[in-house]
Structure 1
Amino acid sequence: MVDEAPKAVPENLLHARYQIQQQLANHAGRETLLATDLKTAKPVVIKLLTFDRSFEWDDLKLFEREANTLKTLSHPCIPSHLDFLEIESPDAKQLALVQTYILGRSLEDYLQAGRTFTEPEIKELLKSLLQILVYLHERQPPVVHRDIKPSNILLGDRSGNSIGQVNLVDFGSVQTLAIQEGRTVTVVGTYGYMPPEQFGGRTVPASDLYSVGATAIALATGKHPADLPQQDFRPHFEAFVQFTPAFTSWLQQMIEPRLDRRFSSAQSALQALEQLQQWHHANLVQHAKKAPPFDYTGNIIARSIALGSVSGLLCGALFGISIMPRVGSDQGIGAIFGAIVGIIAGLILGSVNGVLLSRITAHFFYPLRSVGLYRWTARLLGIFLGSGGMVLYFLILKEGPITRTTSMIVGSSLGTAIILAGVIGAFVGQCLAQWYEQQAVAEEDE
């Protein structure tokens, strides 16, 4: 549905019982209204389907299915069915579905206001949402929502440190698996939150899990999943969040495009999430006063020195060949001398980079909780040392004064060399970060 600003409805009394207060949404012959039940004096939500020019039979099928499904459900975090009306008017016939009103603010409203959610908040929300899905999916036949997204999830009033009660609303796309047998399936859902199989009309309980995972990504990044880099229906969110490696892996399994690689049920996803939280708590306690093992710091330094030496050798040789002949030196001598100085510079810079990164890792990234931030820290450190080292390297290598004739050539070559050194520094940092991330995941698995 397309949300519009609340506005008054001229015919404000429906079926001589429901006093219309305002319009909540309006889209192609379908309206959602907030009303007061004069019999109970309680607020209710009324969904109207109008048989006008925009009417389609699929709309009627989905509308009746929502009503019939809500009749069978009884859950504090799901709207309850109250009434179903047929309304005759001079203009057109209408159907009205009356359901309980749930007070809360949608996650979409929070996102539009510029809020993003932290990993603990998202985990708390996911746990509540998965518990609702366990209830729906374990019914006979299973009930699949098919349109889980931020606008269909409401947060109630907060209490203490809790994010509030999580409510799942708008069952207008709902489907029971029994309906699929031998019938044409209406393709519904929202792009970016729909799994691949749903585009083909196939829906299983695990389809809702993909939507839950995509919703979690939207809450963390503040971006619509469709706006993130995509590959085979998988949004690549890792560079935009600061999740722990274990939670990142869990979320990747939630949005796995292939059904056989996704969590098979809401119950299995919930159990995996709870185990992850239990492990994370135990791990924090275990490492609260524990320094990182020497294996991490020693390996980071050793690998940085090795990568720095190889990079220095290549950069030095290239620099000697391209620069020194232009200031009067022999090319062969320039290459040899450049390579020797490059190895020495690489050893020095690699050692400095390794020591600094190992100290940063020990003080700020052990245990590893923010993969994205650690990657950028390692890259920027490598860029800074690589580019700065190349400037010093040039001052060492140049022989004699550089004339006005050669200054432009040397300056251009030096600029290229500085950029190249920065790129290599970033590559070294990326390699070290990836190695440390792999070690962190392996330690978690143990």
Structure 2
Amino acid sequence: MSERNWETPLTSNTLEQRYEIIQQLAKKAGRRTLLARDRKTEELVVVKLLCFASDFEWDALKLFEREAKILQAISHPTIPRYLDYYELDFNNGNKGFALVQTYISGKSLENYLKSGRSFDEVEIKQLATAVLEILTYLHGRQPPVIHRDIKPSNILLGDRSGNSIGQVYLVDFGSVQTLAAKEGGTMTIVGTYGYMPPEQFGDRTVPASDLYSLGTTLVYLVTGTHPADLPQKDGRIQFELLTNLSSEFTRWLQRMIEPSLERRFTSAEHALQELIQPRIVRPLPSTYKQLCETRVTLNREIDGLDIILSEKGWDFGVGFTTAFASLYNSILIPTTGIAFDTFSRHPSLLLIIGGLWYGNYILVSGVIKYLFKRTRLKISDRKITFTHEILGWKYRQVFKTDTQYVTALKLIYGYRGNRRSMHIWIGRDKYELWRDSMLSEPEMEWLAQELSACLGIEISREPNFYIPKAER
């Protein structure tokens, strides 16, 4: 189709005898975006055109209709408002559709970057806050609305006022999707390379996908380099050395662009909360850095900690128990081979052998527990969980709650100070994490410092004045 036919889709420079075309704003295969004046209201509008040309793809119509339907259903002061939607006849005989929406006067972040403007951390935080508030609205819809193409060219800034970055707008909903839209149907993979999260390439998009796109957009602002051109390690964009951001904002931005959904912020609301009130992470005293010889595995993560404590492993106690179990089985197994007619004459033997087998189960399971049992304390996504595991299987969950309900972290000294244990208070409930039979004093202090820094609460040390009965 010729450019001329695109410029005059009807017989004049006016659509539906109402929208007077002023200029073309954007174009790509089968689509044009025009700036026009509504003769009825004398206001500027944006008209998006879709034409059934020779290179037309039905997925384009699906996305076009979805954009119109969603814009008609939502209402937000920083999102273009739906005005009209109708069918068109082009000069060359092709048909198409037009979507009319309000015009937003502003300059895109992409234009600002190309003109050489830079943004400081305060401005970037203001921008992030504004976009997250928009995403909170979109993702809070039922079903949630996912933009899927957040990038510098789709974020507009209005006029600045004072120290404010200005009004922030989110535009171009041509790639929008609802979670309901993908159920039972084939999704169209859309987005812009460099701003798309890994799951979007795999035909899976969730609200947190928009957070990744926003995060990479912010990375572009702080580095001045397109995200696709930045170095990567294990799929993570390495931007830290190119900026002088505060440590709190750097950690927040790292969480936004996590390639793993499990490690990324779960929602725009969560990301906004962490941006406004970042979790306090205090540096550890040098005395309590990670110990070289310890049964504790500690992984510091962007959003928390993962502490795994293995049991004692093979020692004299386990060796003795295993040897006893072997001797036990040397009696048990031959006994099981007694002829069936013997059991019929002596039914009590069944109870004896059943007791032997149960005792064997207790011995073997005890050895397995002693060798492979571990406790795991995980702090992630403002959640804290304490579980007991065997070979990765969680056989007991002690507690799981939000970190905001943790009220105290205490090291309690036992009778005469020769014992200690670590407890955590959730509300008014007390839970023992570890005791001195599991951890040495340096290990206990080290983990207490790690938890204190991660949770942002002070360590309380207090004696336990329990006196045994014999000494009362």
TM-score in same-fold range (> 0.5):
yes
Q: Among all aligned residue pairs of Structure 1 and Structure 2, give the percentage whose two residues are the same amino acid.
A: 62
Whose strand fraction is larger, Structure 1's or Structure 2's? 2
Cα 1:157–1:59 shift into 2, 3 Å = same
For 1:93, the aligned partner's letter is K
Whole-angstrom distance in 1 between the partners of 2:256 and 2:167: 22
Q: Secondary structure at the match of 1:276?
A: coil
Cα 1:234–1:443 shift into 2, 3 Å = closer
Provide the residue aligned with 2:143 in structure 1: 141
**Which structure is larger by alpha-carbon Rg, 1 or 2?**
2
Whose helix fraction is larger, Structure 1's or Structure 2's? 1
Whole-angstrom distance in 2 between the partners of 1:232 and 1:25: 36
Cα deviation, residue 232, structure 1:
3.6
Q: Secondary structure at the match of 1:268?
A: helix
> More deviation in 232-241 or 79-88?
232-241
Whole-angstrom distance in 1 between the partners of 2:39 and 2:235: 48
**Native 8 Å contact 1:13 1:20 kept in 2:** yes
> More deviation in 266-275 or 230-239?
230-239
Provide the residue aligned with 2:178 in structure 1: 176
Whole-angstrom distance in 2 between the partners of 1:57 and 1:231: 38
Unaligned 5+ runs, structure 2: 1-5, 287-449, 458-472
Q: Secondary structure at the match of 1:158?
A: coil
Whole-angstrom distance in 1 between the partners of 2:91 and 2:195: 40
2:265 to 263, 266, 273: 263
For 1:35, the aligned partner's letter is A
The aligned length equals 287
Cα deviation, residue 442, structure 1:
5.5
Provide the residue aligned with 1:413 in structure 2: none
Provide the residue aligned with 2:76 in structure 1: 75
Whole-angstrom distance in 2 between the partners of 1:89 and 1:124: 44
Q: TM-score, normalised by structure 1?
A: 0.61
Verify: 1:248 aligned to 2:253, yes or no.
no
Provide the residue aligned with 1:53 in structure 2: 54
Provide the residue aligned with 2:463 in structure 1: none
For 2:274, the aligned partner's letter is A
> More deviation in 85-94 or 156-165?
85-94
Cα deviation, residue 445, structure 1:
5.1
Q: Secondary structure at the match of 1:184?
A: coil
Whole-angstrom distance in 1 between the partners of 2:224 and 2:20: 37
Unaligned 5+ runs, structure 1: 1-7, 284-294, 297-438
2:205 to 203, 206, 214: 203
Q: Deviations over 1:312-366 (max 9, x none)?
A: xxxxxxxxxxxxxxxxxxxxxxxxxxxxxxxxxxxxxxxxxxxxxxxxxxxxxxx
Provide the residue aligned with 2:462 in structure 1: none
Cα deviation, residue 175, structure 1:
0.2
Cα deviation, residue 115, structure 1:
2.0
Provide the residue aligned with 1:31 in structure 2: 32
How do 1:164-243 residues align onto structure 2 when only pairs under 5 Å count? 164-243=166-245
Cα deviation, residue 89, structure 1:
2.7
Q: TM-score, normalised by structure 2?
A: 0.58
For 1:176, the aligned partner's letter is T
Provide the residue aligned with 2:103 in structure 1: 101
Cα 1:240–1:86 shift into 2, 3 Å = same
Provide the residue aligned with 2:41 in structure 1: 40
For 1:39, the aligned partner's letter is K
Q: Secondary structure at the match of 2:40?
A: coil
How do 1:355-434 residues align onto structure 2 when only pairs under 5 Å count? none
Cα 1:237–1:64 shift into 2, 3 Å = same
Cα deviation, residue 9, structure 1:
3.9
**Native 8 Å contact 1:158 1:164 kept in 2:** yes
How do 1:254-333 residues align onto structure 2 when only pairs under 5 Å count? 254-276=256-278
Cα 1:52–1:188 shift into 2, 3 Å = same
Q: RMSD over aligned Cα, in angstroms?
A: 2.7
Verify: 1:66 aligned to 2:88, yes or no.
no
